[in-house]
């Protein structure tokens, strides 16, 4: 007789500074391991969670989504409350809900929104340093915006990916937004927002590295066309460091990436 399982989902935020990324690692502590260990106590059973995406070591999340199955029935609000009572302060369950049986945090997603934050001031406050890339030499943010706009659309992003010996079906992705804006709250903060149907390994950080190169006057905005055409990682600039990157939101139906991206461009600078 088969056991009926209940599917739950959670939206999780975390400061990834002290963790080895999302996915469980053999010799380092990852976000997935921390969450699973606490869920095991709540459900008195081994729990395996599945995330919408794998963030790397040092990368943060405001809207990571994950799901898991369990035999026991628990109220979602109780799961959130119990989890936050046991989790370290760097990890928080923002929302928990009973998901449909066929919901899958990764497969059901139709897009993702990542945000990368640069700080261009002479000095970075110790209250910001863990979440920004300090680039005081940035002189041409307008050129960055022009380069970013050239990346919008469907392209082969092989040059902007790092291959860790992973097999991928395709390196073609669609970016619905790649926007560079200066924060109205803090003019030293430059926000780079990317919304796409899918992202390759370290694709966002590779794009940011190239945009910063343009912003420093070491490349022209139209360089991105040649980089895309090269289909070679060596054609792009350095990979940006992890601490400026945050998985901002995972998109699910009925929310469509294109419509979400259009609204985002008008709202990002207010952050």
Alpha helices in 155-222 (DSSP H): 203-215
Domain shared by 125 and 250, yes or no: yes
Q: Which of 76, 98, 120 is the last residue of a domain?
A: 98
Coil/strand/helix, residue 236: coil
The residue to which tokens 């066929």 are assigned: 102
Do residues 119 and 248 both lie within one domain?
Answer: yes
Q: Which residues are CB-contacts of 56 (< 8 A; sequence separation ≥ 6)?
A: 21, 202, 242
Kindly report the CATH number assigned to the domain that includes residue 64: 3.30.70.580
**pLDDT for position 268:** 63
pLDDT tens digits, one per residue of 96-110: 999 999 999 999 999
pLDDT, position 167: 67
| DSSP assigned state of 3 | P
The length of the chain in residues reads: 271
Q: What is the pLDDT of residues 66-90, one digit of tens each?
A: 999 999 999 999 999 999 999 999 9
Full domain range(s) for residue 71: 6-98
Mark whether 180 and 55 lie in a shared domain.
no
Q: Do 115 and 84 share a domain, yes or no? A: no
Q: What is the separation, in whole angstroms, between the first and last Cα of the chain?
A: 53
82-93 as b/e: b if 16+ CB within 10 A = bbeeebeeebeb
- Give, for all 271 residues of the chain, the pLDDT tens digit: 567 899 999 999 999 999 999 999 999 999 999 999 999 999 999 999 999 999 999 999 999 999 999 999 999 999 999 999 999 999 999 999 999 999 999 999 999 999 999 999 999 999 999 999 999 989 999 999 999 999 999 999 999 998 755 667 899 999 999 999 999 889 999 999 999 999 999 999 999 999 999 999 999 999 999 999 999 998 888 899 999 999 999 999 999 999 999 888 666 656 6
Rounded distance between C-alpha atoms, residue 142 and residue 61, angstroms: 27
Would 104 be classed as within a structural domain? no
The CATH number of residue 179's host domain is 3.30.70.660
83 and 216 assigned to the same domain: no
- Among residues 98, 131, 165, the one where a domain terminates is 98
94 and 217, same domain (yes or no): no
**Alpha-carbon gap, residue 88 to 207, rounded angstroms:** 32
Where does the chain have alpha helices with state H?
31-43, 76-86, 141-149, 203-215, 223-230, 257-267
Looking at residue 184, its pLDDT comes to 87
Give domain status of residue 213, yes or no: yes
- Among 36, 217, 229, which Cα is nearest to 143's? 217
Per-residue pLDDT tens digits for 107-128: 999 999 999 999 999 999 999 9
Residues 171 and 122 reside in one and the same domain: yes
Could you confirm whether 193 is annotated as catalytic?
A: no
Task: Say if residues 133 and 239 touch (Cβ distance below 8 Å).
Answer: no
Q: How many angstroms separate the CA atoms of 104 and 112, rounded?
A: 14
119 CB contacts (<8 Å, ≥6 apart)?
Answer: 128, 132, 133, 134, 135, 188, 189, 190
Catalytic residue among 15, 56, 140, 193: 56
Query: What pLDDT is recorded for position 270?
Result: 64
Question: Same structural domain for residues 61 and 144?
Answer: no
Residue 105 within a domain: no
C-alpha 149/C-alpha 265 separation (Å) is 11
CA–CA dist 20, 261 (Å, integer): 30
Specify whether the CB–CB gap between 172 and 157 falls below 8 A: yes
Statement to judge: residues 82 and 29 lie in one domain: yes
Is 106 among the domain residues?
no
148 belongs to a structural domain: yes
Contact 190, 120 (CB under 8 A): yes
DSSP one-letter code for 2:
P
Q: Of 175, 23, 37, 45, nearest to 106 (Cα)?
A: 23
Residues 6+ positions from 15 with CB-CB distance below 8 Å: 60, 90, 91, 130, 131
Regarding whether 161 and 260 lie in a shared domain, the answer is yes
Query: What beta strand segments (E) does 57-212 contain?
Result: 60-70, 91-98, 111-119, 133-134, 153-156, 172-182, 189-196
Specify whether 40 is located in the same domain as 128: no
Query: Could you tell me if 42 and 131 lie in one domain?
Result: no
């Amino acid at each position: 007789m088969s056991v009926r399982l209940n599917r739950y989902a959670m939206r999780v935020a975390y400061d990834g500074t002290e963790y080895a990324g999302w996915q469980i690692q053999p010799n380092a502590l990852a976000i997935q391991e921390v969450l699973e260990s606490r869920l095991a106590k709540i459900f008195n059973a081994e729990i395996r969670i599945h995330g919408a995406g794998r963030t790397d070591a040092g990368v943060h999340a405001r809207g990571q989504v994950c799901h898991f199955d369990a035999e026991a029935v628990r109220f979602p609000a109780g799961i959130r409350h119990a989890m936050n009572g046991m989790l370290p302060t760097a990890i928080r369950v923002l929302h928990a809900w009973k998901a449909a049986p066929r919901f899958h945090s990764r497969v059901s997603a139709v897009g993702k929104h990542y945000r990368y934050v640069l700080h261009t001031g002479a000095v970075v406050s110790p209250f910001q340093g863990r979440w920004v890339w300090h680039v005081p030499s940035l002189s041409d943010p307008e050129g960055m915006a022009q380069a970013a706009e050239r990346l919008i659309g469907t392209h082969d992003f092989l040059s902007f990916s790092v291959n860790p010996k992973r097999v991928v079906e395709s390196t073609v992705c669609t970016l619905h937004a790649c926007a560079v804006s200066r924060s109205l709250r803090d003019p030293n903060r430059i926000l780079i927002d990317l919304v796409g149907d899918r992202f390759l390994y370290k694709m966002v950080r590779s794009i940011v590295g190239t945009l910063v190169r343009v912003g420093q006057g070491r490349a022209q905005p139209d360089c991105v066309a040649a980089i895309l055409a090269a289909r070679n990682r060596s054609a792009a600039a350095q990979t940006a460091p992890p601490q400026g990157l945050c998985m901002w939101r995972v998109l699910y139906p009925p929310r469509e990436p294109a419509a979400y991206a259009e609204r985002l461009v008008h709202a990002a600078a207010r952050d």
